[in-house]
């Protein structure tokens, strides 16, 4: 079951305090990015955050769950209504994640 577009937009809006947020459709659901770095997934109307120690310290409750069958566990974020907390959580998670690898240029 794919995520509702309104829910995806709501999560993006709630994370906006962390930086420039973008969502990209992936495999029927969405990847969510901050300043070009993927930090989570939105699958089946649930928000999943890549696990980091920084995120773990900020979470009020910790629930690990795979966002889709065969995936590694992510933090399941159920408290998505506190915009300030979510922005801080995303910002600190992104600081702890490695920078994205540069894309290879296509040969012409």
Query: What's residue 31's pLDDT?
Result: 96
Res 99 pLDDT > 90: no
pLDDT (mean) for 27-54: 95
- The 10s digit of each residue's pLDDT in 68-93 is 999 999 999 999 999 999 999 999 99
How far CA 108 is from CA of 101, 103, 104, 105, in Å, comes to 21, 15, 12, 9
């Amino acid at each position: 079951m794919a995520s509702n577009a309104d829910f995806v937009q709501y999560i993006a809006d709630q994370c906006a305090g962390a930086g420039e947020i973008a969502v990209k459709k992936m495999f029927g659901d969405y990847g969510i990015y901050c300043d070009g770095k993927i930090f989570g997934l939105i699958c089946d109307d649930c928000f999943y955050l890549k696990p980091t120690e920084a995120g773990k310290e900020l979470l009020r409750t910790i629930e690990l769950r795979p966002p889709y069958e065969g995936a590694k566990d992510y933090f399941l974020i159920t408290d998505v209504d506190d915009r300030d907390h979510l922005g801080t959580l995303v910002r600190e998670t992104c600081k702890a994640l490695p920078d994205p690898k540069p894309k290879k240029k296509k040969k012409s």
